[in-house]
Structure 1
Amino acid sequence: MYNLQDFVQKSKNGDISAFMELLKEKESLIYNIAFSYTKNPYDAEDCISEASIKAFDKLKQLRSEEKFYCWFISILINVCRKNVKTSKSPSSEEDLHNIRDEFSYQSVDDKLIIEDLLCKLKEDDREIIVLRYLKDYSIKDIAMIMDMPLSTIKTRIYRSLAYLREKNGGMKNEY
């Protein structure tokens, strides 16, 4: 059985194969996050490699083994952001078309509505909403990934959802 704390501890002791097993465990999530920033499979792989090297070098700084994936993803996001800033930045329209294929919705209409609404948010707010509602991260984990206070994340989610409701004609969930 896979034991996260054992693998993290082995990795901290210099076992690179244990570290690679940790990354393999969430391989598709890691790739999807990198691709959502870079919009290019080669750049996504480069960012993952760079983030992996940085994370392995700084692994001893990780205080809580159970937070390994949040910690690694925050490093990955920072690497991807740096990569996107140094390369030509894609338009938000391109960004949303690439996000479309990553998630499954009940209908094409749902995809179009969600893409249109996400396009109306600022980049940081969009990232927070995507991490919370499309990637199912906890608010605490998002605060760690985005390197923001928990209260700021809660406020941004509340304001973003209020803004999206307003832009969507005040509609609420029909559940």
Structure 2
Amino acid sequence: MDITGLVKMARAGDEQAYARLIEMKRENLYRIALAYVGNEADCQDMLQEAYLKAYLSLNKLKNPEFFFTWLTRILINLCCSQLKRRYKFVRLDGGQPAGSYVDPNFILAEAKADITGMLDSLDEKYRQVLILKYLGEYTLVEISEILKCPLGTVKSRLNYGLRELREKAERRAGCD
């Protein structure tokens, strides 16, 4: 069944149809949330909150064919709100803000941590495009719809973000 049909069924109260919709992009949404919040527990919380918020607001979705871009936007907004709450108070000693932690059961390889650190250091507008493109596996047109900005802007942000990442990687490798 197509996305539009599943959305219509979910609007009519079919929870199985909604579950099928979520399953279609579960991995992509997981990668996006994890890239934003950085730990498994918060990632799962953000996903559950996004799924619930979207389900309760299904009747507000004007174009069912844009369900996934709409859901992704909800998830990103929730993640950004979580990060603002988490980092509202910055410690003067330069340490981690209170309540921030890394799940010891979720240890990433050193190279992946370096890339994540470089990605985190990018300006938010470039970071968003890179996360959606490479972790969310969205097309540039879909990213344009999600971020509500022109396609040309998405392309330039992608190019600029990739250039910044490349320069950061070269500096870390001592190649500059």
The 5 A counterparts of 1:3-18 are 3-18=2-17
The 5 A counterparts of 1:90-105 are 101=108
Alpha-carbon separation, structure 2, partners of 1:110 and 1:43: 22
Q: Which runs of 5+ in 1 are unaligned?
A: 102-107, 170-175
Deviations 1:122-149 (A, max 9, x none): 1321221232244431112112222333
Residue number in structure 1 paired with 2:151: 150
The amino acid that maps onto 2:59 is K
Q: Which runs of 5+ in 2 are unaligned?
A: 89-95, 171-176
Residue number in structure 1 paired with 2:141: 140
Residue number in structure 2 paired with 1:56: 55
The amino acid that maps onto 2:55 is F
The amino acid that maps onto 1:154 is K
The 5 A counterparts of 1:114-133 are 114-115=115-116, 118=119, 120-133=121-134
Alpha-carbon separation, structure 2, partners of 1:32 and 1:166: 24
Deviation at 1:78, TM superposition (A): 0.6
**Alpha carbons 2:50, 2:78 under 8 Å: kept:** yes
* CA-atom RMSD in angstroms: 3.2
Q: TM-score, normalised by structure 2?
A: 0.70
Deviation at 1:85, TM superposition (A): 1.1
Call closer, same or farther: CA 1:46–1:167 in 2, change over 3 Å: closer
The amino acid that maps onto 1:75 is I
| Percent of residue pairs identical | 32
Alpha-carbon separation, structure 1, partners of 2:122 and 2:84: 19
Q: TM-score, normalised by structure 1?
A: 0.70
Alpha-carbon separation, structure 1, partners of 2:75 and 2:10: 18
Deviation beyond 6 Å, 4+ runs, structure 1: none
Secondary structure at the residue paired with 1:26?
A: helix
The amino acid that maps onto 1:18 is A
**Alpha carbons 1:74, 1:144 under 8 Å: kept:** no
**Whose relative contact order is higher, 1 or 2, with alpha carbons under 8 Å and at least 6 apart?**
2
